[in-house]
Amino acid sequence: MNKKYFSIDEIQKKLEYYCSYQERCHSEVFNKIMTLTTNIGDANNIITKLIDDGYLNETRFCKEYSIGKFKHKNWGKNRIISELKKRKISNRNIEMGLDEIDEDIYIERFNELFDKQLERHSSKNDMYTKKKIFDYFNYRGWEKDLIFKKINKLS
């Protein structure tokens, strides 16, 4: 297999485009660099340059990621936290990202989704239905106490 070799400047330009297209975290950028070069020293220098030039910012990434996954995928805070931890994001940045989600809107979205799920399974009000609703919200990372409070009101 022929592997194309890139100069540091070429890699820098590729990664500037990569980071300007969409917000990225450090681990995503590092993995991308390692597909282009095998020198870890060069990778660290490139990441430092991207940070200095404003192309790479984990706080900004966390904020955008949290808002996006909440609004578009209906993820709860637990799922967002676990996905950010998979990307090796610091706890401080995770907290800053979650602070972007308004608590009132969060609860309102949960109630809307719960009503939709209840409508979808309205033919029965048994344990199977409750389990299906619980599984839906648990998979998407909503807090278990929120889910149980709502399910217990059904009884």
Task: List the domain boundaries for the chain.
Answer: 8-56, 59-98, 103-154
Answer whether 134's CB lies under 8 Å from 147's CB: yes
**Per-residue confidence (pLDDT) for residue 104, from 0 to 100:** 96
The candidate with the shortest Cα–Cα distance to 79, out of 150, 123, 139, 131, is 139
CB-based burial label for 60 (10 Å; 0-12, 13-18, 19+): middle
Residue 150 has a CB neighbour count (10 Å cut-off) of 20
Backbone Cα Rg of the chain: 21
pLDDT digits (tens, 9 = 90+) for 105-127: 999 999 999 999 988 887 666 88
The model's confidence at residue 67, banded by pLDDT at 50, 70 and 90, is very high
Instruction: Tell if the pTM clears 0.75, that is, is over it.
Output: yes
Predicted pLDDT of residue 51: 94
- Of 65 and 36, the structure prediction assigns the larger pLDDT to 65
CB atoms within 10 A of CB 53: 11
Whether 61 contacts 24, CB under 8 Å:
yes
Residue 1 pLDDT exceeds 50? no
Residue 155's pLDDT band (boundaries 50, 70, 90)? low
pLDDT at 55 over 60: yes
